[in-house]
Amino acid sequence: MLKNIFTILLLLSLSNLYAEDYFFKGVRVPLDKHGDYALISKECVNCMAKRALKEITPMENYGIMAIGAPGAKLCMSIEGAKYEIFDSKLGQQGFCLFSDGSYVDTDGLMYFSDPSNKKKIDN
């Protein structure tokens, strides 16, 4: 059990090293960590992705079940948003793309859909 915890911690620390090494259709996409819980467009100040993190409501309000890919379902419930897969050295990650060119990872989107986590969003 302790060995598994160390393995998980190692993988989490490695994911932070490669936080900016994501590619979409072969092009590197610059990312920043947002509140230590989401990966978001690097130049995002008042972008649609950041607004989505602040405005997203709990998944159950959309009737979305946690079966399948809930982050993808949550992304697709946002009007005008598009779900895409980004590649990295560690694998693949789902991202929610917006019409202004901004993007946020679906894990972060799901995290901030929980009302108790809203207070962790920095401006």
Into how many domains does the chain fold?
A: 1
For the segment 95-102, the average pLDDT, to the nearest whole number, is: 94
Question: Quick one: which H or E segment has residue 31?
Answer: strand 31-34
Q: Quick check: 116 pLDDT over 90?
A: no
Cβ-based neighbours of 75, under 8 Å, separated by 6 or more: 81, 82, 83, 94, 96, 106, 109
* Residue 36: pLDDT band with limits 50, 70, 90: confident
Region 96-117: mean pLDDT is 89
Q: Is residue 1 part of a domain?
A: no
pLDDT number for residue 37: 84
- 8 domain-assigned: no
Q: Computed from CA positions of residues 66, 84, 21, 118, in that sequence, does the dihedral angle turn out positive or negative? A: negative
Task: Supply the pLDDT for residue 61.
Answer: 64
In this predicted structure, what is the pLDDT of residue 96? 95
Residue 84 belongs to a domain: yes
pLDDT at 117 over 60: yes
Residue 71 is part of which domain span?
A: 19-120
